[in-house]
Amino acid sequence: MRRAAPLVLLALLGPLSRLAAQQPTVPPAHFEKLAHTYSIVAWDSVTGDLGVAVQSKFPNVGGIVPWGVAGVGAVATQSLANTAYGELGLQLMAQGATAGEALRIVMRSDTMLGDRQVGVVDARGNAASFTGERTFDWAGGRVGAPEGRGDVAGGKGQVITGRGFAAQANIMVSDQTVRNMAESFARSTGPLPDRLMAALVAGQAGGGDKRGMQSAALLVVRKGGGYLGVNDRFVDIRVYDAPDPIAELARLLALHKLHFFPTEPTDLVPITPAIVRQLEPILLAEPAGQAQKWLASPQGAANATFLAALRDFMYWENYDVRVRMDGQIDRVVLQDILAKRGAAP
């Protein structure tokens, strides 16, 4: 590692011994312990966001595979997953290692290297992927090409490095899953969570896991991007077990956007008398089953009393990050409120 201080390296080499400790004392049947998985780790050059999207024929893959720290990097550790690639890999990148350097350093002390599969991306856009020689077919990976066009493919026993993203998979029907993920991400635009979701969908369209589907996860980290800006978990969604985990993950992402993403300036609309007429019956009738309602009497306009009632109603309904008191309302929230009560938008 070129940029890390020697003392930092010495401090980190001790914990690397934990790699060996993560193998079972008596290894179970090899195939049954592998997380049959495809994933993509990526960096957004516009926002600096870092993320991981993953699907697996393994329960709660979100508790094993995805790792990320805002401004540092993201890691996917799978097959016979070793969480040290996440924990120690991120520590190394925080000290200045590139994605490829961090991956190779952690690999040095891994006594079961042939069973691992790992994808890494750092906050400068460097990407790396590794597939162990004992992973089950089809297994391999792709990273964005260093020059920014196309991608670089890699098979078993190889570390491949590039830019922007790393996609990897094991026990797939064919290489089409990884090929699709790489092509989808490379040509897509927009927010990183949407691009990662699109890559998962494309990967499944390429055949996916030989044994089917079970769980999925999406992790995107952004400095101050979490709830009300107090943490970095911009998106952190897990599907533990579902017949179609990717479809469920997409549903949960839409829900997450509604309740956790702040208002886009283009979505603000003034609370006109027409909107007051739509919302006032709701504020006069709710909360259901309680004597005291949000509004005690009709106001007929977006005055201070009406706005205070609307604010309290929105907090009650979990629209926390989109609450306003300036005579405007988020049209996405307005549509959701009316749709849930069977009213016309």
Angle between helices 6-13 and 84-94 (to 10 degrees): 170
* pLDDT recorded at residue 212: 73
Give the up-direction half-sphere exposure of residue 68: CA atoms within 13 A in the CB hemisphere. Answer: 32
Distance (Å, whole) CA 149 – CA 53: 22
* pLDDT recorded at residue 24: 42
pLDDT digit of tens for each residue in the chain (345 aa)? 344 444 344 444 455 444 444 444 343 454 455 556 899 999 999 999 999 999 998 899 999 999 999 999 999 999 988 999 999 999 999 999 999 999 999 999 999 999 999 999 999 999 999 999 999 889 999 999 998 788 999 999 999 999 999 999 998 888 999 999 999 999 999 999 999 999 999 999 887 666 678 999 999 999 999 988 889 999 999 999 999 999 999 999 999 999 999 999 999 999 999 999 999 999 999 999 999 999 999 999 999 999 999 999 999 999 999 999 999 999 999 999 999 998 766
- Identify the DSSP state of 16: G
* pLDDT recorded at residue 344: 64
Report yes or no: 129 and 108 within 8 Å, Cβ to Cβ: no
| R_g over Cα of the chain | 23
Phi, psi at 343, each rounded to 5°: -95, 155
Question: CATH classification of 6-19+28-260 is 3.60.20.10, yes or no?
Answer: yes
Of 52, 66, 71, residue with least CA distance to 223:
71
- Whether cis (ω within 30° of 0) applies to the bond prior to 138 is yes
- Identify the DSSP state of 93: H
Phi, psi at 166, each rounded to 5°: -140, 125
Q: How many residues does the chain have?
A: 345
- The structure tokens 């690397």 sit at 16
- How much is the pTM? 0.85
Q: 339 vs 102, 259, 343, CA distance in Å?
A: 49, 15, 6
Residue ranges of domains in the chain? 6-19+28-260, 265-340
Task: List strands edge to edge, sheet with 158-163.
Answer: 66-69, 73-79, 116-122, 126-131, 158-163
* pLDDT recorded at residue 173: 83
* pLDDT recorded at residue 2: 43
* Helix residue ranges per DSSP H, 51-208: 84-94, 99-107, 176-187, 192-205
Report yes or no: 169 and 130 within 8 Å, Cβ to Cβ: no
* pLDDT recorded at residue 7: 37
Two tokens, residue 55: 């699907």
* pLDDT recorded at residue 34: 52
Give the up-direction half-sphere exposure of residue 226: CA atoms within 13 A in the CB hemisphere. Answer: 11
Distance (Å, whole) CA 322 – CA 329: 8
